[in-house]
Structure 1
Amino acid sequence: MSFKKKMSLGILTGALGLTLIGGGTWAAFNDVETTNNYIAAGTLDLVVNPETLFDLSNMKPGDYITKTLTFTNNGSLAIDEILLNIDVEGWEDVLHGHLPDNGENTLEDFLNQFQVVLSSDVYDGFYSLAELSNLSDHKMTVEGEGVAALLPGESFDVTITLQFLEDDTRYPNSRLYEQNKYQGEGATIKLNFEATQMPGEEREND
């Protein structure tokens, strides 16, 4: 074998040896440790009592009813805010041929005949049902920023008064009151209460 061939073979063998050493490195010593960790989501559970506040028929202007609604935090997480919105179902315009305008009105006209007064230790306000129905969310709780409105296991009461307002406006050149147009009309009012969580924060282990 020539010197050139021997030299080439030696270089190839050396390169192959380096490849085996580099690609096949492994350690005989190692150590494995495990930490046991646990995470779980809390619960947000607002309970409202009673489920039905108003079940009224045959109302007349001037009538009112007052009820107490109790909010309880039945979950494990503090509640930041309680939001209110309402749904209205089942209303239809009842016409009255003896009235100058046949008694035509809208749902908003009808809802404006009713005032809602809300009162609690942390909140007071009054609105027409029409105003509440036009709000996507109405904040029921008033607290400092970052302060829980309702801690787990706690409750608070809100007094709610619903009144059919009196309006002595008459039709022009008539003895008839305009509120006559609402006779026979009614609707189902659903009060929807939404509890929200407190903002996320840095946590320490329990």
Structure 2
Amino acid sequence: MSLKKKLGLGVASAALGLALIGGGTYAYFSDTVATTNTFASGTLDLSINPEYVIRAENIKPGDIMPRAFELSNDGTLDISRVDIHTDYTVEYGDKYTGGDLGEHILVHFMTNVDKNGLGNIVVGPNNVITTTTLAELKAADGLPDAVANDLYVNLPWLGEVNGERGGLAAGDSDDLIVVFEFVDNTEDQNTFQDAELTLFWNFEAHQTAGTIK
């Protein structure tokens, strides 16, 4: 065997030996880049102004009590609906002989001025509540949606019709008007003299549906 052949065979054998020793690994160029990723959630922050809807003293059957308040979305997420949960307690006076004062307090309507499409006119097509008692509202827990507008229409040539779109966008607010009445039902209502009803209205905001980000 010639010297050249011997040298070639020796080099091939050495290369095979190194490959076997290295376990079949090989060297190559590489480069890496690192990323830092975040998932930051938004907030729902519903506020009311004033902090109470009504405070009335020395009321009697036949009294009508209109009140106005504002719901604001101070968070970073849009609100799809605001459910009103009603509860109340009553402390009765010395003349109490039975009955539920909540059945004698009517909520004639609650109008969302921003949603009714008629500016500051109280009566409109999008009343949230229409003549129901506090007792009935308590029984129907979670009703109604205070920022709904089922009659909303957006026409290309007219724009938004019948008020704003339902819901409450981040940074937006809605003005609402509610009218209470201590109904005079011609019955003997002396049982409710010196009574005090404490109304709890909890406004529960809900997020909108998920979207592609």
| Residue 118 (1) aligns with residue 124 (2) | no
Instruction: Report the Cα distance in structure 2 between the residues aligned to 1:19 and 1:130, rounded to whole angstroms.
Output: 87
Say whether the 8 Å CA contact 1:84–1:140 is kept in structure 2.
yes
* RMSD (CA atoms): 2.5
2:134 to 126, 129, 133: 129
Following superposition, the deviation at residue 20 of structure 1 comes to 7.0
Q: Give CA deviations for 1:131-171 in whole Å, capped at 9, x if unaligned.
A: 11112201222235xx65111221111101111001113xx
Identify, as 1 or 2, the structure richer in strand: 2
Give the unaligned 5+ runs of structure 1. Answer: 1-16, 97-101, 170-176
Following superposition, the deviation at residue 33 of structure 1 comes to 1.9
From the superposition, tell whether residues 20 and 34 of structure 1 become closer, same or farther in structure 2 (CA, over 3 Å): closer
Q: In structure 2, what is the equivalent of residue 192 of structure 1?
A: 202
Q: Give CA deviations for 1:74-94 in whole Å, capped at 9, x if unaligned.
A: 1111111011012323x2444
Say whether the 8 Å CA contact 2:148–2:166 is kept in structure 1.
no
TM-score w.r.t. length of structure 1: 0.71
Q: Percent identity?
A: 30
Q: In structure 2, what is the equivalent of residue 6 of structure 1?
A: none
Aligned amino acid, residue 115 of structure 1 = L
From the superposition, tell whether residues 35 and 104 of structure 1 become closer, same or farther in structure 2 (CA, over 3 Å): same
Give the unaligned 5+ runs of structure 2. Answer: 1-18, 116-125, 151-164
Aligned amino acid, residue 120 of structure 1 = N
Aligned amino acid, residue 200 of structure 1 = G
Q: In structure 2, what is the equivalent of residue 163 of structure 1?
A: 181
Give SS of 1:111's match. Answer: helix
TM-score w.r.t. length of structure 2: 0.69
Q: Give CA deviations for 1:24-55 in whole Å, capped at 9, x if unaligned.
A: x4645332122343331112111210012222
Aligned amino acid, residue 193 of structure 1 = F
Q: How many residues align?
A: 167
Say whether the 8 Å CA contact 1:94–1:104 is kept in structure 2.
no
Aligned amino acid, residue 183 of structure 2 = L
Q: In structure 1, what is the equivalent of residue 98 of structure 2?
A: 104
Q: In structure 1, what is the equivalent of residue 58 of structure 2?
A: 58
Stretch of structure 1 that moved more, 131-140 or 25-34: 25-34
